[in-house]
Amino acid sequence: MNRRIRSVFGICAAVSMLLSMRAWADGNADKPLVWWNRQPSNSSTGELDMDALTWNDQTCYVGFDADQGAELQGQMIAGYMEANIDTIDRNGDGIIGYVLAIGDIGHNDSIARTRGVRKALGTALAVEGEIDSSPAEINVDGSAVVVQDGEVGGLTVRELASHEMKNASGATWDAATAGSFIDTWTDSFGDQIDVIVSNNDGMGMAMFRAWAQEEGVPTFGYDANSDAVAAIADGYAGTISQHADVQAYLTLRVLRNAMDGVDPDTGIGTADEAGNVLSDTDYYYDESSHSYYALNLAVTSDNYKDFLDSTAVYAPVAHQLDAETSPVRQVWLDLYNASDNFLSSTYQPLLESYDDLLNLEVTYIGGDGQTESNITNRLESPDMYDAYAINMVRTDNAASYTALLQ
Ligand code: BGC
Ligand code: CA
């Protein structure tokens, strides 16, 4: 081969190497992607967005079983009412009056919790076979069309009021809004409120601190955030753990497995080399929805001491991975709302512990909870990452993310 030909060959080889590197760099669409906390779905019908859930063969959702948790929350509240039937009716009008803080009328977790509570208390009304989850607004006289009066332990149960706690700029699950609503409600019918129910602890705690604690009115939330669990000692009546310690692990673990090219069940249902493994009382995987669901646990005055630190990693999956077989990788992860109580005080600290154990370098992006573009604007260089973990503002908006990975 003469020099000229050799150098042409050399150029060709270099070009083809560059091309293959580009091909690799361009392959964002093939990189592992996990949707978490907000399942891609139609926000009015709840129908799953299977295009998003099967975006590539390394895509799945990590959340928790919303229906099982909602049922548990409803039963916990009904059980409390029954156990305290002699004292629960504070004004003795024969009605157990409760108010309900709704997180986000288009969020599957919020819808499930509203339904679970109404079902357990007998206040649910069904439309076309599905329990109505719309806010009743003010229903002190029992005339609302979305709920009915129920019955527990021989007393009537009435949803006196319920409202979506969304602030003026559109942020949902808004604790401050719940805090001011309880003020408004108690000003006009405070003596009729016997129980406070909330779709989450962020809003529940705002209502508890603003009014219920001093009045001794039992308040129920959801998430088992550390501050809410600690407040059980001060009269907060109960909450539900959605096993965030399992969810945060799964969120990163599914990406780790995909990047390592190992069996997707490694360190999940099947122990890995380090000994990490979950059991079937912690979670289940549903093939048809490509989703992992953590199971919920009720937290009340009977067991709250076991749940005081919501940011503690789950011991069965707290073993460090070997950096030889699972080398450092880059992950882009967003939280739809940096000021959401549950995500910022429970979920993110857990992720930050697991990222070390799993040898992942995670770039955490905190959204404003209102607009998708506030987050998608910060996915400007997707090539820099080996995998993505996405928490959407609206569950309908999966395509605004996948479009950036095309
Ligand atoms: C949590 C809420 C949180 C929401 C955010 C829910 O699963 O229970 O507390 O605000 O997720 O998407
Ligand atoms: Ca009453």
Closest-CA residue to 329 (of 392, 248, 405, 261): 261
Contacts of 120 (CB under 8 A, 6+ apart): 71, 73, 74, 75, 77, 78
According to DSSP, the β-strands at 137-138 and 155-164 are antiparallel
- Asked if residue 38 has its Cβ within 6 Å of ligand 1, the reply is yes
- Asked if residue 334 has its Cβ within 6 Å of ligand 1, the reply is no
pLDDT at 389 (0 to 100): 98
Would the pLDDT of 14 be above 90?
no
Residue 172 CA: nearest ligand 1 atom is 10
Contacts of 373 (CB under 8 A, 6+ apart): 400
Residue 222 CA: nearest ligand 1 atom is 8
**pLDDT tens by residue, 254-303:** 999 999 999 999 999 999 999 999 999 999 999 999 999 999 999 999 99
pLDDT > 70 in the chain, percent: 94
Torsion sign over Cα 66, 210, 181, 196: positive
The pTM for the full model equals 0.90
- Asked if residue 59 has its Cβ within 6 Å of ligand 1, the reply is no
- Asked if residue 347 has its Cβ within 6 Å of ligand 1, the reply is no
Residue 223 CA: nearest ligand 1 atom is 8
Q: Average pLDDT in the 10-19 region? A: 46
Top CATH class of 67-241 equals alpha beta
Give 299's strand partners: 239
DSSP per residue over 122-149, as a string?
T-B-EETTEE--S--EE-TTS--SSB--
* Best probe residue, ligand 1, of 38, 43, 225, 343 (max atoms within 8 Å of C-beta): 343
Nearest ligand to the C-alpha of residue 243?
1
Q: Whose CA is nearest to atom 11 of ligand 1?
A: 37
- Asked if residue 174 has its Cβ within 6 Å of ligand 1, the reply is no
- Asked if residue 109 has its Cβ within 6 Å of ligand 1, the reply is yes
Domain boundaries, the chain: 24-63+243-278+304-405, 67-241
**pLDDT tens by residue, 290-315:** 999 999 999 999 999 999 999 999 99
Give 363's strand partners: 332
Q: What is the mean pLDDT of the chain?
A: 94
Helix ranges (DSSP H) in 122-261: 175-189, 201-207, 213-215, 226-231, 244-260
Longest dimension (CA), the chain: 103
Would the pLDDT of 16 be above 60?
no
**pLDDT tens by residue, 48-85:** 999 999 999 999 999 999 999 999 999 999 999 999 99
- Asked if residue 200 has its Cβ within 6 Å of ligand 1, the reply is yes
Would the pLDDT of 375 be above 60?
yes
Residue 225 CA: nearest ligand 1 atom is 9
Q: Whose CA is nearest to atom 6 of ligand 1?
A: 109
* Best probe residue, ligand 1, of 335, 336, 342, 394 (max atoms within 8 Å of C-beta): 342
Query: Is residue 213 within 8 Å of 235, Cβ to Cβ?
Result: yes
Q: Is residue 194 helix, strand or coil?
A: coil
- Asked if residue 342 has its Cβ within 6 Å of ligand 1, the reply is yes
Q: Quote the DSSP letter at residue 33.
A: E
- Asked if residue 223 has its Cβ within 6 Å of ligand 1, the reply is yes
- Asked if residue 97 has its Cβ within 6 Å of ligand 1, the reply is no
- Asked if residue 340 has its Cβ within 6 Å of ligand 1, the reply is yes
Contacts of 138 (CB under 8 A, 6+ apart): 160, 161
pLDDT at 25 (0 to 100): 43
| Tokens linked to 367 | 């959204």
pLDDT at 53 (0 to 100): 98
Q: How many angstroms is it from 81 CA to the middle of ligand 2?
A: 12
Q: Average pLDDT in the 121-139 region? A: 95
- Asked if residue 245 has its Cβ within 6 Å of ligand 1, the reply is no
pLDDT at 22 (0 to 100): 36
Q: How many angstroms is it from 343 CA to the middle of ligand 1?
A: 7
Contacts of 192 (CB under 8 A, 6+ apart): 91, 93, 95, 97, 140, 160
- Residue 390: band (very low, low, confident or very high) from pLDDT cuts 50, 70, 90: very high
pLDDT at 45 (0 to 100): 83
CA angle, 398 then 29 then 277, to 5° = 80
- Residue 17: band (very low, low, confident or very high) from pLDDT cuts 50, 70, 90: very low
- Asked if residue 222 has its Cβ within 6 Å of ligand 1, the reply is yes
The span from the CA of 6 to the CA of 259, in Å, is: 38
Kindly list the protein residues that place their beta carbon closer than 5 angstroms to ligand 2, a single-atom ion: 89, 91, 93, 95, 97, 194
Across 345-375, b (16+ Cβ under 10 Å) vs e yields: bbbbbbbebbbebbbbebeebbbbbbebebb
Q: What are phi and psi of 201, to 5 degrees?
A: -75, -30
